[in-house]
Copies of this chain bind each other. A is one copy, B any other.
Amino acid sequence: MQDLIDEIAATLSTRTDRGAVADYIPELAKVDPDQFGIAIAMADGSLHLAGDAETPFSIQSVSKVFALALALGRVGDQLWRRVGREPSGQSFNSMLLLEREEGIPRNPFINAGALVTTDTYLAGSTPREALGHLLRFVRAAADDEAIHINQAVARSELETAHRNFALAHYLASFGNLQNGPDKVLGTYCHQCAIDMSCRQLALAGRFLIEGKGFPRLLTRERQRRINALMMTCGHYDGSGDFAFRVGLPGKSGVGGGILAIAPGRASIAVWSPGLNRYGNSSLGTEAMEILARRTGWSVFG
């Protein structure tokens, strides 16, 4: 395994077509695109790192997985009254279906759905308390108390979050937010601004499967269901392509990180800041594809 990921890191380090770094959040636009990291937490308890696996990056939408787990822990299946479980077939910040479907977002991984998720775990608490719960969850999953929120990124994001403000107000106009849009957005932008390294993210992802020494934070059924959602909806309108090429449940973030799960086998984190046309890490997707092909970890046979 270590040889394999060293080889992957070496192969990809020579690549020049890395895609463009997200530029709509000023803090993220500063990141050096020539980085690549990968970390694998195996079910046997071993951990393998290669490349820039220890460099922290902004996990952004990968945080939606942890937020979903937290929200489900809070309200259980009632969450599904307010958000769907279907791929949207649209880009991550689309308004189209939200208008047609009267404020019920298609799934918890597009932005509108993630705002409902955030609104759900916010419940009666202050943003500070709610983010505290979330951080505790992530730290417990990764067994690492050092994981924290990058305040500069959170602020930068909040200042340029017009599209997300639009979604939040839109949800509110349909009565599908319990907290005010400003409060939800403030919390959401901090949630997305969690910094983690590939090592930390791979360890944190262990809560989605069973493995030696893996934290038990969810029932088996809930693990399965979150993995299912990651498979069908985790890469926005590139989800089908990720399933086709990689064959693993995964969730991407605009910071260039991807968390993928090989059920029964491993939690995998890759990171490379350049994005493809769907807004998912270009080299990260490729690394996952090579890894899945070489290991035969695809869930599809």
Contact = CB atoms under 8 A, between A and B. Distances in A.
A94 interface: yes
Interface stretch (A62-70, A125-133, A136-144, A228-236): A228-236
Contacts of A229: 240, 243-244
Contact of A167 (B166, B181, B243): B166
A47 interface: no
A248 B263 CA distance: 13
A84 B209 contact: no
Contacts of A45: none
A301 B220 CA distance: 7
Interface string A219-261: 0100111011101110001111101100101000000000001
Nearest to A93: B173
A300 B86 contact: no
A26 interface: no
Contacts of A298: 224, 228
A92 interface: no
Given A90-B89, A301-B220, A240 B244 contact: no
Interface of A: 84-90, 94-100, 106-107, 162-163, 165-170, 172-173, 181, 208-210, 220, 223-225, 227-229, 231-233, 237-241, 243-244, 247, 249, 261, 263-264, 298-301
A165 B261 CA distance: 39
Contacts of A224: 247, 298, 300-301
A89 B99 contact: no
For the complex of A and B, the 6 pairs showing the least CB-CB separation, nearest first, are A89-B89, A263-B301, A87-B87, A86-B240, A162-B173, A299-B299
A220 B299 CA distance: 12
Nearest to A243: B228
Contacts of A228: 240, 243-244, 247, 298, 300
B243 A232 contact: yes
Nearest to A99: B95
Contacts of A223: 300-301
A144 to B, nearest CB: 23
18 contacts: A85-B240, A86-B87, A86-B238, A86-B241, A89-B106, A162-B181, A165-B166, A165-B181, A166-B167, A166-B173, A169-B169, A224-B300, A228-B243, A228-B247, A229-B240, A229-B243, A232-B244, A249-B300
